[in-house]
Chain A
Amino acid sequence: MELLMRAAGSPVKGTRWLGLYAVAVFAFLYLPIAVLIIYSFNGEGVGGFPPHNLTVGWYRTLFADGAIWDSVINSVLVALAAVTIALAFGVPAALALDRAQFPGKALFRRLVLLPLILPGIITGLSLLMLFREADVKLSLLTIVLGHGTALISVATTEVFAGLQKLDRAQEEASLDLGANYWQTFWRITIPNLRLSIIGAALLIFTLSLDEIAVSFFLIGRDNTLPLEIWGRLRRGITPEINAISTIIFVFSLIAILLWYHLRFRSDGQTEIAAELVEAAVQGD
C-alpha cells in the first residue's frame, strides 16, 4: 500500500500525467482553430464528418465578395485611426503618470485602464449615450473614437513599462547640455521608447481589427469586418466565413511573429499580454 502511494506521488509519474493533461488542454485550445481551417476547404458546408469534396472554391467566392472587402478596408482604416488616437493620448498619459503629480491621478490611472476590464457592452453603451446626447450621427468615426479611447489603456501600460526601464541620466544629460524639452523628447525619450511604441501600435491595430462588443453599439451604415461577419452569421453560415477567418488567422500570426521578433530583441522576459491582464485587474 505504501509502495503504491509512493509510486502515485513520485515526481516522475506525476509529471507524466501532468504532461498528458497539458497535451489535452492544448488539444482543447486548438481544436476549433483546426476545424475552422479544415472546413474552409470543405465543399459540403461548415459541418459534416468526414469532410469531403475538398476545394478552394470558398476562397474564390470570398475573393469575389465585394461587401467583405469593403468591410476589410473599413476595419483597416478604423484600426489605423485608433492607433493614432491611442498613441497620441496614451504616450503623454504614460509620461504624466511617470513624472507629474496632479489631483485625481489615481482616478485617472484607473479610468484609463477601465475599458480593458469592463465588459465591452458597458463602454460601448456609455459612448452611445454620449453621442446621442451630443447629436453625433453614428458612423465609422464614432467607432474610431470608441476604439481609440478604449485602447489608450494599451499604449499607456506598454509605454509606462518602457519608461520604468529607461535610463534617466540620458534625459538629464540632454537637458543639462542645453537641449530644450521638445528636443529631448524627440531625440532621447521617443527613440528610447521605440520598441514599446511599435509594440503597442501593433497590438492596438490587432485588437481594433477584432473588436466587436464596443463597435456593435456605435455602428453606422458602414460595417467593420467583425460586424459584417456577425451579420452573416445570423443569416446562415457557409465555409466562406471559415475562409475569411483562416485568412485573418494567418495575418494575426504574422503580426504576432513580428511582435515577438521585436520583443525578443529588446528582452525575452516581459510579456505584454500578461502585463495587460494584470494591469487591467490591479489598476496599476
Chain B
Amino acid sequence: MFSRAYKAVVTLPPLLWVTVFLLIPYLLMFCYSFWSVSAEQTIVHAWRLDNYRELLRVGVYWQTLLRSMWIAGRVTLFSLLLGYPLAYYLSFHAGKWKDLLYQLVIIPLWVSYLVRAYAWKTILGSDGVLNTLLQYVHLTKHPLEFLLYSPFAVVLTLTHIYTPFTFLPIYASLEHIPGNLVEASQDLGASPLQTFWRVIVPLSVPGVLAGATFAFVLSLGDFLAPLLLGGPSGIMISNIVVSLFGAAYNWPLGAAIAFVMMVLVVGLLFLSERLEKKWSFS
C-alpha cells in the first residue's frame, strides 16, 4: 500500500541519524579501547590490546567490577522483594483502590533521580534526619556513622530508585494472567499457596525477568549515587571510568572498561530475552 518513495522518506532520515549519533559513537568507543595516550597527553591511534591486558593485570579494576555487580545484585534482589508483593497485592487484593495505588507507585518515578539521592543523603548523614531522630528519642547517643558513605547507602538509594521500575513489568504480567486460570486452579482443589506457586509465579516470570534486568543493568552502571553517598568503600566501576576520562586522563583505558560494561549489559539483555521467551505462555 505504501510506495517505495514513502518508505525511503520515513526510513532514511532516522537510519542516518541513529547511525551517526549512536552506531558510530558506540563503535568509536570500541576503537578508543585499543588506542593509548602518549607522554604529551595526546591520543595515539595505534591498535594494541594493552588496555585489556591492564584490566586483567590490575586487581582494582575487576575487583571494582565485581563489587559493582554485587551492589547491583543486592539492589535487584531488594527491588524484587519490595516490588513483587506490592504488585501482587495491587493486582489481586486492592479492589477499588487499584488504580489510585498504581498511580501512587508511579509518582516517585518522576521525582528527579538526583533529588532522591540527595534526599537520602540528608536522611542518612551524621547530622541527618535519621541520626538526629534516633538521638532525640534516646535510642542512640552518638550518630551512627555507617549509614552514609557506605555501600549500604548506595544499595538503599538505588533500591529506592529501581523498585517502581521492577514493580511495573511484574504488575503488567500479573494483570495479564487470565482470571479463569486462577479459578480453575482453585476449583480443582489447590490451596491459595499452591495456586500462587504453581500458577501465578510461573506466569509472572517474564515480568520478573524484565524488572530484574532493568534494575541490575542500570544500577550496575550508576556513578552518581556512589559519588554522592558511597564514600571510598562504595566506589563502583563507573566511578573509575569517570576518573579515567577526567583527572586521570586515560580515555582509552576508560573506553576499554566502558566497552566491557557494554558487552556485559548486552549479554545480559540477550540472556534475559532468551529466558523470557522460554517462560512466556502466549
Contact = CB atoms under 8 A, between A and B. Distances in A.
24 contacts: A15-B89, A18-B93, A25-B85, A32-B123, A47-B131, A48-B127, A48-B129, A92-B11, A111-B23, A119-B218, A119-B238, A122-B29, A122-B258, A125-B241, A125-B258, A126-B28, A129-B32, A237-B118, A245-B118, A249-B112, A253-B110, A256-B107, A277-B165, A277-B210
Given A19-B93, A260-B103, 5 more contacts: A9-B193, A48-B129, A92-B9, A100-B7, A281-B210
A178 interface: no
Contact of B115 (A111, A126, A130, A248): A248
B114 A226 contact: yes
A90 B18 CA distance: 10
Interface in B1-49: 1-3, 5-7, 9-11, 13-15, 17-18, 21-26, 28-29, 32
Contacts of A4: none
B201 interface: no
A121 interface: yes
Interface string A1-16: 0000000010100110
Interface string B107-142: 111111111101111110101110111001000000
Contact of B116 (A32, A93, A149, A242): A32
B29 A129 contact: yes
A283 interface: yes
A177 interface: no
Given A92-B13, A117-B214, A212 B23 contact: no
B interface secondary structure, majority: helix
B211 A277 contact: yes
Contacts of A102: 7, 11, 15
A273 B109 contact: yes
- Place the interface of chain A in its size category: 35 or more
Nearest to B245: A125
A265 interface: no
B122 A25 contact: no
A21 B89 contact: yes
Given A117-B265, A125-B258, A89 B118 contact: no
Contact of A47 (B114, B127, B168): B127
A241 B122 CA distance: 11
CB-based closest 8 A-B pairs: A119-B221, A126-B25, A32-B119, A93-B14, A100-B7, A49-B133, A96-B11, A49-B132
Nearest to A121: B238
Interface stretch (B50-58, B59-67, B177-185, B222-230): B222-230
A179 interface: no
B255 interface: yes
Contacts of A99: 2, 7, 10
A50 interface: yes
Given A48-B129, A229-B114, A274-B171, A119 B119 contact: no
A118 B265 contact: yes
Interface stretch (A33-41, A64-72, A193-201): A33-41
Interface in B218-267: 218, 220-224, 228, 238, 241-242, 245, 251, 254-255, 258, 261-262, 265
B118 A277 contact: no
Contacts of A253: 107, 110
A108 B13 CA distance: 12
A203 to B, nearest CB: 10
Interface string A207-242: 000101100110000000010011001000100011
Contacts of A237: 118, 121-122
B21 A273 contact: no
A85 to B, nearest CB: 8
B85 A47 contact: no
B163 A25 contact: yes
B108 A282 contact: no
Given A39-B129, A119-B221, A260-B103, A108 B15 contact: yes
A248 B120 CA distance: 17
Contacts of A256: 106-107, 110
